[in-house]
Structure 1
């Protein structure tokens, strides 16, 4: 089904591997399309309760494959045709998405990680807003998400200087949620993803929906949306399971329904 990525579903987790390791998983147009299609498939699969995006080999994603770029290219149209649809599909997904940053995440690879809900990073991983080094601006939603995570001043610094941010500093800065040892990388990422997958999936989707609206609505309109979202959450099987587990003094077992 896919050629530039590998896609597997196991134990309610969809694993999406960027699979061009000889090119440090650099993006080509086909990879943009396949990531978009895989996220869409996971979104509509009731068996999937969490999505993990990671890279094969030693890199997460080094950004755009520059061998596909030439001076006559309309870079804006490339974004409209390839990167924009991919990032929009990620944003529209109401299931939790984890970027498991196993190595360098540079340029559009950094943007991909920023668009995810969580970023766990290997001690061998790093982030870099590398666009400035080829005379371009951060794209694929980069500054939209980066400013929310680290603020205007730090986003400006990372974008203009284009310096590498090592894993430990990324966690301190708020770019990443958790630092993971390279030795226990696969095991610890799986444990983290399983923890997220075991939570009430529909409630997570409603939380994501509310956060997206929080800065765009008046406070009164937000409260109304909040009430509508809580009504939906209150009708889920997982809410009933949570109440029953509380009354019975046991750990809840959520099904994502």
Structure 2
């Protein structure tokens, strides 16, 4: 079990675990949490630590300082040297860690959520966004295209025409527009995104780990599966749920009119 004394430490990530919730906060505030090679390494290690820790049931991704993330650090020599390699071998594994995680990830977004920083926020399972925050695909302004899977995310949320307009027009998407498009779940007052995400994570941490894990598996696969394939995946995983001690205990608690306690068993 992780506590303040045993939690791993990183140079560019602020990491903590409390009451079943891990917080992974990008921590380069002087650079608006721009992502460089050091941050990518720390993010990979922090993600792995949270995934391996049985005490962690939910993970919150946040940013320190004035904003969530301003995107990739264009001053990073490694990115400039071979951007395709960095994207495939640096960024993609950390983005895959979110989608492949057995645990839900909640993005707590404040200020700027730009470039590949927006890709990380969109990759999370859930997201809370402050009223004055925005997502910004600024790539067109410097002759680039979005990366980190942003095209895949945006076309599914916005539809082709709105996604294309946001990309080629380098548009800022305000919080309310992000919520309306389903890019985030809820908009909260400025200064409260981190706490709102922690409150949500705390409630989820009391829930059934199998439900959170299996629902994520089915939904992520459903985007590219047929109905029959998705139905079969559901049936298989429902079988795993029904046979679990958690389900048996929760059904007994339902009839006894008491709150269930989920252990993951």
CA deviations on 1:222-246 (whole Å, 9 max, x unpaired) are 3222211111111223212321121
Aligned equivalent of 2:99: 91
Residue 92 of structure 2 corresponds to residue 105 of structure 1: no
Of 25, 35, 44, the residue aligned with 1:27 is 35
Of 211, 219, 233, the residue aligned with 1:211 is 219
How far residue 72 of structure 1 moved from its aligned partner, in angstroms, is 5.9
Q: Give the unaligned 5+ runs of structure 2.
A: 1-8
How far residue 25 of structure 1 moved from its aligned partner, in angstroms, is 0.3
Q: Is the 8 A contact 2:113 2:136 kept in 1?
A: yes
How far residue 254 of structure 1 moved from its aligned partner, in angstroms, is 2.2
Aligned equivalent of 1:12: 20
Q: Is the 8 A contact 2:221 2:230 kept in 1?
A: yes
Aligned equivalent of 1:78: 86
CA deviations on 1:198-234 (whole Å, 9 max, x unpaired) are 2212211111111122233333333222211111111
Partners of 2:260 and 2:163 in 1: CA distance: 40
Q: Which runs of 4+ in 1 moved over 6 A?
A: none
Q: Is the 8 A contact 2:108 2:193 kept in 1?
A: no
Partners of 1:54 and 1:75 in 2: CA distance: 25
Residue 119 of structure 2 corresponds to residue 124 of structure 1: no
Query: Are the structure 2 counterparts of residues 249 and 70 from structure 1 closer, same or farther at C-alpha, using a change threshold of 3 Å?
Result: closer
Q: Is the 8 A contact 2:78 2:86 kept in 1?
A: no
TM-score (ref. length: structure 1): 0.93
Aligned equivalent of 1:62: 70
Of 192, 200, 210, the residue aligned with 2:200 is 192
Aligned equivalent of 2:180: 172
How far residue 186 of structure 1 moved from its aligned partner, in angstroms, is 4.1
Per mean C-alpha deviation after superposition, the further-off stretch among 49-58 and 170-179 is 170-179
Q: Is the 8 A contact 1:36 1:90 kept in 2?
A: no
**CA RMSD of the aligned region, Å?**
1.8
Partners of 2:101 and 2:88 in 1: CA distance: 19
Partners of 2:164 and 2:59 in 1: CA distance: 30
How far residue 163 of structure 1 moved from its aligned partner, in angstroms, is 1.2
Aligned equivalent of 1:115: 123
Q: Secondary structure at the match of 2:68?
A: strand
TM-score (ref. length: structure 2): 0.90
How many residues align structurally?
257
Q: Give the unaligned 5+ runs of structure 1.
A: none
